[in-house]
């Protein structure tokens, strides 16, 4: 049950990241006050395609190997989250103000990453509990 909740959280996190990637062009058109370089940086074809492909890969990792409890998939998904977080923190100055609720930042992105990391921890914990039960040894 714990692993299912974890997998659900990971899928929800990657779905939110997919939504933010696909919604970037519409967001850029709605906010014409952003300069052209910033719109191209977030809503161009390459960032949208890259964010979407990483999100779809993460969803597939969660639905097939993580659900089965394979460790390599949990680590691969963790590395994917870390790469996405590191890249966004380095490239987007708005992410640095995410802890201030009065400033506009990348709140959806950060919530999705935290949700995904919590889901990975639950999926890993659920896997460890099942493995120890099957082997007869305590955690």
Q: What is the pTM of this model?
A: 0.82
Q: Is 86 exposed, middle or buried (0-12, 13-18, 19+ CB in 10 A)?
A: exposed
Contact 126, 13 (CB under 8 A): no
Mean per-residue pLDDT, 93-117:
82
* Average predicted confidence (pLDDT) for the chain: 85
Number of structural domains (the chain) is: 1
pLDDT tens digits, one per residue of 15-53: 999 998 998 888 877 777 767 777 777 788 888 999 999
For residues 120 and 131, the model is more confident at 120
What is the C-alpha separation between 29 and 45, in angstroms, rounded?
Answer: 14
Q: Which domain holds residue 100?
A: 2-135
- 7, two tokens: 């997998």
Quick check: 139 pLDDT over 70?
no
Contact 113, 10 (CB under 8 A): no
């Amino acid at each position: 049950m714990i692993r299912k909740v974890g997998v659900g959280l990971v899928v929800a996190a990657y779905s939110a990241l997919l939504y933010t990637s696909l919604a970037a062009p519409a967001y850029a058109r709605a906010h014409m006050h952003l300069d052209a370089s910033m719109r191209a940086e977030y809503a161009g074809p390459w960032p949208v395609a890259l964010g979407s492909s990483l999100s779809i890969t993460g969803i597939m990792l969660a639905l097939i190997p993580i659900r089965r409890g394979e460790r390599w998939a949990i680590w691969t998904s963790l590395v994917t989250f870390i790469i996405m977080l590191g890249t966004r923190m380095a490239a987007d100055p708005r992410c640095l103000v995410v802890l201030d609720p009065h400033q506009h930042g990348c709140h959806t992105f950060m919530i999705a990453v935290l949700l995904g990391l919590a889901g990975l921890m639950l999926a890993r914990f659920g896997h460890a509990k099942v493995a120890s039960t099957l082997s007869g040894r305590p955690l």
